[in-house]
């Protein structure tokens, strides 16, 4: 089913290239592990199980990790009303609506397709935003679902998960037991497995970051055009980013693992090097794009870009 969110050919091309490159990396990774561990059954079973779990249960995993829960219309009527309105405008299935009891203002979407999607907002976001701003944020998240880039990011991040699992497995598996001369052999295998896993993680990390930054700009653009109010989205961005920056970094550590899925990354007051490898473009880039769209639509300039 095609939604009314404006299609983005450049996003589609980038997703295709990223998945192709990660697919090649995945094949090479599995082949290397089979050679090193001499057990193709073990490698294939673990890799397949992890991929299936991440793809089919990504929504439940994300909700559990972020303390989110599904909420009905009776409990959050205004939130459901905004989602209903946007889904009607976009002509797309309504996702499951969830709320996370966190003060950090944020939102995310997850799920393998539009028919099995979840949109979650934090109580901190609901407290801080006006209705028009909330509408902009939810339109942004729904565009991720409509463009299917949520599923792509979920699959793309799979390699990093597998690389991490392999490292943990290497520490605990009996494959690395033994004494005497065998210790030297197993240590060599261990070092090679660690090296391959680290390389795979680094490459997949960079590929995912490049795609993630573009998909956030694409979602901002699609949301602004769908609602016709880019200034409201810009206002929400400014509020949320500013409030998150005031939250101590130690309080954001759990949330940072899900930065690729968030409306705005959970970076503390001093992001430092983390900003260079951020899953999102800078606030300035996002506001600049929304300012251009606002001018094109004849709307008042977005906050922070008035001149």
147 is in an annotated binding site: no
Q: Which tokens in the block code for residue 156?
A: 């793309």
**Torsion angle, alpha carbons of 183, 189, 190, 191, to 10:** 110
Distance separating alpha carbons of residues 120 and 107, to the nearest angstrom: 6
Lookup result for tokens 């934090």: 122
| DSSP three-state, residue 108 | strand
Q: Which tokens in the block code for residue 94?
A: 């309504």
Q: Say how far residue 78 (Cα) sits from the centre of its chain.
A: 25
Name the catalytic one among 130, 135, 141, 250. Answer: 141
Q: What is the DSSP letter of 299?
A: P
The dihedral built from the CA positions of residue 226, 227, 228 and 231, taken in this order, carries a sign that is negative
Residue among 260, 165, 257, 159 nearest 200 (CA): 159
280 is in an annotated binding site: no
140 is in an annotated binding site: yes
Largest CA distance in the chain: 76
Does the annotation mark 141 as catalytic?
A: yes
Q: What is the crossing angle of helices 131-146 and 149-156, to 10°?
A: 70
Alpha helices per DSSP H over 228-261: 230-245, 249-256
Which positions make up the binding site for Zn(2+)? Answer: 140, 144, 216
Which positions make up the binding site? Answer: 140, 144, 216
**Catalytic residue positions?**
141
């Amino acid at each position: 089913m095609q939604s009314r969110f404006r299609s983005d050919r450049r996003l589609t091309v980038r997703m295709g290239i990223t998945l192709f490159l990660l697919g090649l990396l995945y094949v090479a990774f599995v082949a290397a592990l089979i050679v090193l561990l001499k057990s193709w059954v073990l490698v294939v079973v673990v890799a397949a199980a992890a991929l299936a779990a991440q793809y089919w249960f990504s929504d439940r995993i994300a909700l559990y990790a972020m303390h989110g829960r599904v909420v009905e219309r009776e409990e959050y009527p205004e939130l459901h009303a905004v989602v209903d309105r946007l889904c009607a405008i976009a002509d797309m299935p309504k996702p499951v609506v969830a709320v996370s009891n966190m003060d950090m203002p944020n939102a995310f979407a997850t799920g393998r397709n539009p028919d099995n999607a979840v949109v979650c907002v934090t109580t901190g976001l609901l407290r801080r935003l006006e209705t028009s701003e909330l509408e902009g944020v939810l339109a942004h998240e729904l565009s991720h679902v409509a463009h299917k880039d949520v599923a792509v990011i979920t699959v793309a991040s799979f390699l990093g998960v597998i690389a991490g699992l392999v490292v943990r497995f290497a520490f605990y598996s009996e494959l690395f037991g033994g004494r005497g001369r065998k210790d030297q052999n197993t240590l060599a295998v261990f070092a090679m497995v660690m090296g391959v896993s680290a390389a795979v993680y680094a490459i997949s990390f960079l590929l995912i970051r490049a795609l993630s930054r573009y998909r956030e700009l694409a979602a901002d653009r699609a949301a602004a055009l769908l609602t016709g109010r880019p200034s409201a989205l810009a206002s929400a961005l400014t509020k949320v980013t500013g409030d998150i920056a005031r939250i101590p970094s130690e309080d954001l550590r759990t949330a940072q693992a899900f930065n690729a899925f968030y409306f705005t990354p959970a970076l503390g007051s001093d992001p430092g090097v983390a900003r260079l490898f951020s899953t999102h473009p800078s606030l300035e880039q996002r506001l600049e794009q929304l300012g251009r769209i606002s001018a094109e639509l004849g709307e008042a300039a977005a906050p922070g870009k008035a001149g």
